Structure 1
């Protein structure tokens, strides 16, 4: 006997159900109903469910409808802000209206997505020394601040999303002074927290969910309620994001800010504590000297860098000086609230710095990210399965879904990475007619991708031919910025359609312009491989330069490879190949977004057809018609009106 909830869910998707009554042209998809029933069973039995749902299955409604009809406390976590906002502003309101439901719903983002009024006031007070463009942007943000109701920077359109003014005024744990703030009652971050406390359905992203669940360091600590159901959409991103949150990171900018703030505290509050200024300035100088040494070396692998004696002397000299500063600061505890805040921050950062320098964990990668002026030091665990296992409470229904989870028709890699020992697994095919509507072309006679000059020349020739046949309307996806930067200026001269290149503007601005132009060519790297939805004839062709294998120089990859090889396993088949298959699938997924879409996928890498591992890629791709003849591909494009 089916449960009452299962009956309600089945009714919702029926030919005379709520969806059919509310959505013009709605047609019931068997795969969507299958997924919705599986989600319902998972909610009722509190079992784990892992579902790969191909493009067009309609997975969003398949998990939202059972979740809403269950009446339970639900958290939906996404991998991208785009999907997060689509769920909150579009899908959830539509479904609540269809079913006449009125639960409180909240959208919650990480702190740095909200304007901080305290920082806004502080920055404007120092406006006289500011660059003109930054000041102009700050004034625009300040004007918007008087109109916004939620302070969500995502709603700010008056300045570029890459404006250097934005990081100056968004909320951060390091700058939050809590109840001492003049804007405590109006604080956008605090209001967002309060809305989430009262909500029955909360939409978050993976970063915030993991930060709240694991680190409790975001200022949103213990904010998310104990839920009955947690749905991870875009779940393929979870394993890599988990590495960040089970690891540790230290930004040198935070250290520099602490030293600067301590000097200000001496100058404006504690004029009798000259040693604070002297030692803080000394630490700041040593930090800068150490950073400059690293910039000159340019290596991202801290294990390799440890053998550099001069750098080692600088590193431990910095630690020694920070400890001397901490000893002096302890003698002034309680004299200033601001000083006490900085002492606490310095202790956390100093411990992280020393832990990084010691490099004691053999099961972690120690790497350095080089920014414009500052560094981020990262300790990333090789395997997070053990930690993830503790995360997934057995009293909760955990549901994981994405269009790209399987390798060679197998979901076990994903479940192993997250330590999911018991879960129901499903592979649901896309209902789209790929065989007739999509053509996959790997052109014949391609040079080796390792022959950069020949590969570049051939790739440009293929792009020109395909773009002209498609009348623009093309995405060209690259596996590296180097290749993108080499191709863009050549295409600029050879193609007469508008060219939009990643870096010219923010991602959303480029996509908006692409849609408006109607005949544009967009060139992008990783950011454009996923989370981009362009439907219809606007996108007829996707060209990919080569198979997206991770760089062998990546520190975490190298550490994982060494660990795998110590176990007698093959790092290529265990790590490189699976990651590349999933990434390629994401890129391919940009092409066919609707049942009426038609298009051509061109991959300029013949390893997919002449290497044994190529079959793993082919088995995981949608069932498109295939050809090696570029002329057939261009003829197909010319027929798409």
Structure 2
């Protein structure tokens, strides 16, 4: 039976999918997407699918991929989505389809316990009580875990300072020289991935390997014939993080600390380790001082010999001092390299620092952009403008998958590449996604959401509202959100475009709810781990529980799922245009304008449209959900480009006046009729 026919049977009413999915019903869009993917899997090539919320895209790509009998690589945006695919979705489908396939989960090395570093961590933890307690918890868990995946350790805060002590990085991993190499959890995960039929990874891991060939993907990818990227809208921004060049003063300080510890423990007296480490620390701190104070989080353009506002002589001198300190460290380490594998790895790290410092004293390549991130430490960045060239040359042009014994002699079966997300652009050809990702030859499919947005949701843009740049704008957003929170008893998500607005709106909400005598809990991103915030928010809708409003930015614009009555009001403070002063944004805009195109129309508006769709997508997650979306930015209805942004949003009914908004909120407190 042809793959398309098998897929049709699975998605038919009463088919195998009804056993795997709760409340399954036939959706034309889901079946259409699955059949398109089945065709690409059978024939090879590239397929880009934008699948609106509610289509059921996960099963749309999993069913044809699993039924194909091919080796499959699944990549998604976050480790949490990885865990969901590997732990829930794939096993349910394999059981329903009665397929005896072997699966594996592969993450980056920072997700796994390093047994060697854990053994050293007791010394590094010192006498700090909280750190010692957290380390003891990790040590007890280490005795029972098979995978070493830290996500399995209950109650471990992802921000815990113990995590860097018990995990390895590419810089400090000892590789085959490690005394725990045979028992290494990272190597175990890689071996299982190489033996599996279906491997679940994440985009960060994929591009990290593309950049440095370090994660084991170099062995895995040639044996895979079907590659699927879910949440593909994040591919370009993820990729440029890894395909560029970075040098941080914090990285230098970490190296100096590791060098000093290894030298004093294993080669005391053979070199003046204090002096070598001291020169590195001094060079890093001097370079940080050259950059000045700056606003934390600011980015300095770096178009010439030095970043803006910094003297070229001082800057180049600081980089040269850093390079020489790293060279001296490399020489010192070379004299003791035979004593321990730690010194061999440290010498490699010193060489990398020398190389990067040297490259950053040279002019920036024309197809890249440089800047400096200002914080407690400095981060020097050289980034490509997009991943198109890397994808064309190093991904799509990769060797064909090795043929199975049945396929010997058949050279026509090219690899199948599937890219899918709920938001991939605002034009029919999805150029916002395909152009920067180098997918010039991809077929494009757009599948609309099955939700009845006109009945389920309403959009309100307040006409009388401060302009986004006005000082009173955050307070006005807090006042509007408070009105909704008081009517709904919580059930509200406020999405902000900046961290400054996040804090202002959070404080304003607390003040207003306190003044109104409300016990609704105001949750603000950054005050608790993301996982804790999400769990508390969802619990706020339980009977008898205190309601919640969550004020969040950045990662909460997507990947936050609160279906049902848990979330009924989403408030967006401003249109999410890319920051105009960002060096990468400026460089992309200049490139478009050099091609005779509009930086605003061809870059800024599509970027805002995709982000706006992502934020709005938090509201309606099921056919039974109801809610109101508020965009506190009058430009959406007053500016010409607003029509394009409105067209990118789901077709919600429009609320014209404040009274309509209040009535819509009141309606949400009543049972659906």
Contact 2:294–2:374 (CA<8 Å) still a contact in 1? Answer: no
Q: Could you list the per-position Cα deviations for residues 272-291 of structure 1 after superposition, in whole angstroms to 9, with x for gaps in the alignment?
A: 54355533322222222222
Aligned with residue 416 of structure 2, among 386, 391, 397: 397
**How much does 1:336 deviate?**
4.1
Contact 2:51–2:448 (CA<8 Å) still a contact in 1? Answer: yes
**How much does 1:314 deviate?**
2.1
Corresponding position of 1:587: 615
Corresponding position of 2:62: 64
Aligned with residue 486 of structure 2, among 461, 465, 468: 468
* CA distance, structure 2, for counterparts of residue 25 and residue 258 of structure 1: 54
Q: Could you list the per-position Cα deviations for residues 259-315 of structure 1 after superposition, in whole angstroms to 9, with x for gaps in the alignment?
A: 333334443444454355533322222222222333524563233346443333222
> Measured at CA, do residues 434 and 180 of structure 1 come closer, stay the same or move farther in structure 2, by a change above 3 Å?
same
* CA distance, structure 2, for counterparts of residue 456 and residue 341 of structure 1: 50
User: Does 2:547 align with 1:547?
Assistant: no
Q: Could you list the per-position Cα deviations for residues 105-153 of structure 1 after superposition, in whole angstroms to 9, with x for gaps in the alignment?
A: 01111110111111111111344x3422222211222222223221111
Contact 2:114–2:166 (CA<8 Å) still a contact in 1? Answer: yes
Corresponding position of 1:120: 118
> Measured at CA, do residues 618 and 334 of structure 1 come closer, stay the same or move farther in structure 2, by a change above 3 Å?
same
Aligned with residue 210 of structure 2, among 198, 210, 213: 213
Corresponding position of 2:426: 407
> Measured at CA, do residues 635 and 166 of structure 1 come closer, stay the same or move farther in structure 2, by a change above 3 Å?
same
User: Does 2:562 align with 1:534?
Assistant: yes
Superposed CA RMSD in Å reads 2.0
Which runs of no fewer than 5 residues in structure 2 stay unpaired?
401-413, 542-546
Contact 1:385–1:417 (CA<8 Å) still a contact in 2? Answer: yes
User: Does 2:477 align with 1:459?
Assistant: yes
* CA distance, structure 1, for counterparts of residue 596 and residue 468 of structure 2: 29
Q: Could you list the per-position Cα deviations for residues 426-463 of structure 1 after superposition, in whole angstroms to 9, with x for gaps in the alignment?
A: 1111000001110011012112111122x223212211
Corresponding position of 1:504: 527
Corresponding position of 2:293: 296
Corresponding position of 2:649: 621
* CA distance, structure 1, for counterparts of residue 582 and residue 461 of structure 2: 28
* CA distance, structure 1, for counterparts of residue 340 and residue 549 of structure 2: 57
* CA distance, structure 1, for counterparts of residue 18 and residue 256 of structure 2: 62
* CA distance, structure 1, for counterparts of residue 68 and residue 217 of structure 2: 27
* CA distance, structure 2, for counterparts of residue 320 and residue 160 of structure 1: 39
Corresponding position of 2:544: none
Which runs of no fewer than 5 residues in structure 1 stay unpaired?
none
Question: Is the deviation greater in 592-601 or in 306-315?
Answer: 306-315
Aligned with residue 440 of structure 1, among 439, 449, 459: 459
Aligned with residue 469 of structure 2, among 450, 466, 470: 450
> Measured at CA, do residues 120 and 24 of structure 1 come closer, stay the same or move farther in structure 2, by a change above 3 Å?
closer
Question: Is the deviation greater in 402-411 or in 30-39?
Answer: 402-411
Contact 1:409–1:619 (CA<8 Å) still a contact in 2? Answer: no
Contact 1:173–1:218 (CA<8 Å) still a contact in 2? Answer: no
Contact 2:46–2:441 (CA<8 Å) still a contact in 1? Answer: yes
* CA distance, structure 2, for counterparts of residue 11 and residue 312 of structure 1: 66
Q: Could you list the per-position Cα deviations for residues 465-523 of structure 1 after superposition, in whole angstroms to 9, with x for gaps in the alignment?
A: 12222221010110011011111112112122111111121111111011112121111
Q: Could you list the per-position Cα deviations for residues 579-614 of structure 1 after superposition, in whole angstroms to 9, with x for gaps in the alignment?
A: 111111100000000001000000000111111111
> Measured at CA, do residues 330 and 396 of structure 1 come closer, stay the same or move farther in structure 2, by a change above 3 Å?
same
User: Does 2:238 align with 1:241?
Assistant: yes
For the residue of structure 2 that corresponds to 1:362, the secondary structure is coil
**How much does 1:193 deviate?**
0.8
User: Does 2:251 align with 1:230?
Assistant: no
Q: Could you list the per-position Cα deviations for residues 305-333 of structure 1 after superposition, in whole angstroms to 9, with x for gaps in the alignment?
A: 46443333222222233334434544555
Corresponding position of 1:49: 47
* CA distance, structure 2, for counterparts of residue 286 and residue 24 of structure 1: 60
Corresponding position of 2:31: 33
Corresponding position of 2:252: 255
Corresponding position of 1:428: 447
Contact 2:20–2:92 (CA<8 Å) still a contact in 1? Answer: no
Q: How does 1:138-287 map to 2 (within 5 A)?
A: 138-218=135-215, 221-271=218-268, 273-274=270-271, 277-287=274-284
Q: Could you list the per-position Cα deviations for residues 344-377 of structure 1 after superposition, in whole angstroms to 9, with x for gaps in the alignment?
A: 11111221122123242132121233454x3332
* CA distance, structure 2, for counterparts of residue 540 and residue 131 of structure 1: 44
For the residue of structure 1 that corresponds to 2:360, the secondary structure is helix
> Measured at CA, do residues 540 and 361 of structure 1 come closer, stay the same or move farther in structure 2, by a change above 3 Å?
same
* CA distance, structure 2, for counterparts of residue 108 and residue 271 of structure 1: 39
> Measured at CA, do residues 169 and 272 of structure 1 come closer, stay the same or move farther in structure 2, by a change above 3 Å?
closer
User: Does 2:488 align with 1:485?
Assistant: no
Corresponding position of 1:379: 382
Contact 2:72–2:197 (CA<8 Å) still a contact in 1? Answer: yes
**How much does 1:618 deviate?**
1.1
For the residue of structure 2 that corresponds to 1:445, the secondary structure is coil
* CA distance, structure 1, for counterparts of residue 128 and residue 600 of structure 2: 49
> Measured at CA, do residues 82 and 275 of structure 1 come closer, stay the same or move farther in structure 2, by a change above 3 Å?
closer
Corresponding position of 1:517: 540
Aligned with residue 357 of structure 1, among 356, 361, 373: 361
* CA distance, structure 2, for counterparts of residue 526 and residue 363 of structure 1: 27
Contact 1:262–1:277 (CA<8 Å) still a contact in 2? Answer: no
**How much does 1:218 deviate?**
4.0
How many residues matched? 636
> Measured at CA, do residues 45 and 378 of structure 1 come closer, stay the same or move farther in structure 2, by a change above 3 Å?
same
Contact 1:249–1:352 (CA<8 Å) still a contact in 2? Answer: yes
User: Does 2:111 align with 1:92?
Assistant: no
Instruction: Normalising by structure 1, report the TM-score.
Output: 0.95
